[in-house]
Copies of this chain bind each other. A is one copy, B any other.
Amino acid sequence: MKDVKARTVFVPPHRERGVVDARIAEAGLRPTAQRSVVYGVLLDHAKEHPTADEIFIQAKTEKPEISMATVYNCLDALVKHHLVKQVHLERAATRYCPNMDEHAHFLCETCGEVWDFEGAAKPRTSGFRVPSGFTVTQTEVNMRGVCPACAEQEVAR
């Protein structure tokens, strides 16, 4: 039987008992209750690219004592340990993204939602000249435009 093609779409792991903690531990972080909740919420809502605030509200339903400061602390720790990325497409609340596969972000200028476009930047062919002396460690691609749902609404008018 042939091998299945490499998966290019990010699928967040199920939040089975221990899976989230294991990932946190693998990243070299102590899996505290709060970190598990925060990371778990983020994995569950990866598509929405939630803000700290949105994560806080959701986390509270699982752990009512959690504080906003802790959500920020946990997110910072997750970012430092490469489990999560910050997304800044506009000057608005930072959004968080647990998809660490290389991908581009798309911001719908009509509804403000953010989408992941899978793929990988090819520095050689991307069309930009990196002057000598510069070391590029990360390339981020952000697109803007109109998502299918908003395009439809536009037509209806």
Contacts and interface: CB of A to CB of B under 8 A. Distances in A.
Interface of A: 8, 86, 88-91, 94, 103-104, 106, 109, 115, 117-122, 125-131, 133-148, 151
A128 B117 CA distance: 7
Given A86-B91, A91-B91, 19 more contacts: A91-B94, A104-B128, A109-B137, A117-B131, A118-B129, A119-B127, A121-B128, A122-B125, A122-B127, A125-B127, A126-B127, A133-B147, A133-B151, A134-B146, A134-B147, A136-B144, A140-B141, A140-B142, A140-B143
A131 B120 CA distance: 15
Contacts of A89: 88
Q: 5 closest Cβ contacts across the A-B interface? A: A133-B148, A119-B128, A122-B127, A125-B125, A136-B145
A104 B91 CA distance: 18
A121 B140 CA distance: 12
B133 A144 contact: no
A139 B142 contact: yes
B128 A137 contact: no
A88 B112 CA distance: 16
B126 A125 contact: yes
20 contacts: A86-B90, A86-B91, A91-B91, A103-B128, A104-B128, A115-B134, A117-B131, A119-B128, A121-B127, A134-B147, A135-B145, A136-B144, A136-B145, A137-B145, A137-B146, A139-B141, A139-B143, A140-B141, A140-B143, A140-B144
